[in-house]
C-alpha cells in the first residue's frame, strides 16, 4: 500500500509505503496516515465498482481503508472558494 | 637592510589587515544577508516553470490512473471532466451533472437542456505552501474535486460557496463547452472507444 499526498508545485509525493500484512510496516503506515490527518489532509481511496465505474471513497481512519487498497491519496480539505480561485 | 625592509613590510601588512578587517567582515555579512534574502524571495514567490510543468505531468498521470478511460480522454481533449449528479449515470436516471474545471468553480447543469444551475466554488488550499504556493497543480485540483464529489457529493456541495451561474465562469463558455462535449461524444461514439489515441 502506498500513501500519496497531492502537493503544490510537485504533484503527488509518496508519504509512506508498506505491506499491511507486515505488522511493523502496518504500524508505520498507520502513523503516517495519522500525521497526514493531523496536518489537515483528507484521505481518499480510489475504487472501482463491480460494474467497472471508478469513484473514490473518503476514509477517516486507517481502519476504514480496504486491506487490499493499493493507495490512499491525501489532499487538502475542501474550503469554500471565491474570487481567488480564478486565474 | 633586507631584514629591516621585510619587518617593515610585515608590519605594514598587519596594519592594513587590521584596518581592512572590519570593512571586509561587514561586506561579507552584507553579501550573505543579500544571498539569504534572494533565496527567501525565491522560495516565497519563486515560480519555476520547469518544476510546475513536471508537477502537472505527475498530476495528469495520477488523474489518468484514477478516473475512467472516457473521463480521462474527456479531460485530455476538452480540459474538463463531467461527473453525473447523485453518483449515477444517464442510464440510472441522473437528472443533473457537474463540470469540473481546474481551479474554477464546479458547474452544475441540466444535461437535457444545457441549462446551468449553480456554480460551486471550492478550493483545496495546502497551507503548508511547500513552494510558496498553496495551489495544487491543475490536474491534482481536478482529481481532488473528482474524489470529493464521487465520494461524498452532499458534503462537498455543502462545503462549497454556491453562486448563481455566471459569477466566475462565463455562461457562454459553459454553453460552448457543452456543445464541444456533445460533439466529442458523437465523434467518440462514431469511431469507437478503442481507436481513441493515448495521451
In percent, the amount of chain A with pLDDT more than 90 equals: 83
Q: For residue A50, what pLDDT is reported?
A: 87
- Tell me the pTM: 0.78
Nearest CA in chain A to B131: A9
Is pLDDT larger for residue A44 or for residue B3?
A44
CA distance B135 to B141: 8
Instruction: Give residues 65 to 84 of A whose Cβ lies within 8 Å of B.
Output: 73, 75-84
Which residues, 6+ apart, have CB-to-CB distance to A42 below 8 Å?
A58, A74, A75, A76, A77, A78, B148
CA distance B108 to B116: 6
- Report yes or no: A2 at the B interface, CB cutoff 8 Å: no
Residue B163 is placed in which grid cell? 453562486
Q: What is the pLDDT of residues B10-51, one digit of tens each?
A: 888 888 888 888 888 888 888 888 777 766 666 655 668 888
Give me the residue from A54, A77, A82 closest to B66, CB to CB: A54
Residue B108 is placed in which grid cell? 452544475
Q: What is the pLDDT of residues B110-168, one digit of tens each?
A: 999 999 999 999 999 998 888 778 899 999 999 999 999 999 999 999 989 999 988 89
Report chain A residues whose CB lies below 8 A from the CB of B127.
40, 76
Strand A71-76 to strand B106-109: parallel, antiparallel, or no bridges (unpaired)? Answer: unpaired
Residue A78 and residue B122: Cβ atoms within 8 Å? yes
Write b or e for each residue in A32-62: b if 16 or more Cβ atoms lie within 10 A of its Cβ, otherwise e. Answer: bbeebeeeebbbbbbeeeeeeebbbbbbeeb
How confident is the model over A59-74, as a mean pLDDT? 96
B126: closest CA of chain A, how far (Å): 6
Give me the residue from B136, B144, B161 closest to A80, CB to CB: B161
Residue B52 and residue A56: Cβ atoms within 8 Å? no
Residue A86 is placed in which grid cell? 480564478
Could you report the predicted ipTM of this complex, rounded to two decimals?
0.91
Alpha-carbon A45 to chain mean position: 6
Amino acid at each position: 500500500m502506498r500513501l500519496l499526498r497531492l502537493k503544490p508545485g510537485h504533484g503527488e509525493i509518496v508519504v509512506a509505503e508498506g505491506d499491511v500484512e507486515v505488522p511493523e510496516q502496518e504500524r508505520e503506515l498507520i502513523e503516517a496516515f495519522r500525521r497526514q490527518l493531523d496536518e489537515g489532509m483528507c484521505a481518499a481511496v480510489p475504487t472501482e465498482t463491480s460494474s467497472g465505474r471508478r469513484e473514490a471513497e473518503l476514509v477517516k481512519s486507517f481502519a476504514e481503508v480496504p486491506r487490499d487498497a493499493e493507495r490512499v491519496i491525501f489532499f487538502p480539505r475542501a474550503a469554500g472558494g471565491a474570487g481567488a480561485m480564478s486565474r | 637592510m633586507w631584514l629591516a625592509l621585510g619587518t617593515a613590510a610585515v608590519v605594514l601588512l598587519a596594519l592594513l589587515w587590521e584596518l581592512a578587517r572590519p570593512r571586509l567582515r561587514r561586506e561579507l555579512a552584507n553579501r550573505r544577508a543579500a544571498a539569504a534574502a534572494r533565496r527567501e524571495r525565491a522560495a516565497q514567490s519563486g515560480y519555476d516553470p520547469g518544476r510546475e510543468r513536471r508537477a502537472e505531468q505527475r498530476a495528469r498521470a495520477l488523474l489518468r490512473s484514477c478516473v475512467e478511460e472516457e473521463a480521462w480522454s474527456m479531460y485530455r481533449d476538452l480540459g474538463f471532466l463531467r461527473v453525473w449528479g447523485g453518483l449515477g449515470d444517464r442510464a440510472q436516471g441522473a437528472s443533473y451533472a457537474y463540470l469540473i474545471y481546474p481551479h474554477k468553480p464546479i458547474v452544475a447543469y441540466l444535461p437535457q437542456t444545457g441549462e446551468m444551475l449553480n456554480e460551486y466554488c471550492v478550493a483545496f488550499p495546502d497551507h503548508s505552501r511547500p513552494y510558496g504556493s498553496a495551489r495544487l497543480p491543475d490536474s491534482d485540483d481536478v482529481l481532488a474535486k473528482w474524489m470529493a464529489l464521487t465520494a461524498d457529493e452532499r458534503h462537498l456541495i455543502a462545503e462549497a460557496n454556491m453562486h448563481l451561474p455566471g459569477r466566475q465562469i462565463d455562461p457562454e463558455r459553459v454553453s460552448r463547452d457543452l456543445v464541444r462535449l456533445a460533439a466529442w461524444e458523437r465523434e467518440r461514439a462514431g469511431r469507437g472507444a478503442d481507436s481513441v489515441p493515448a495521451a
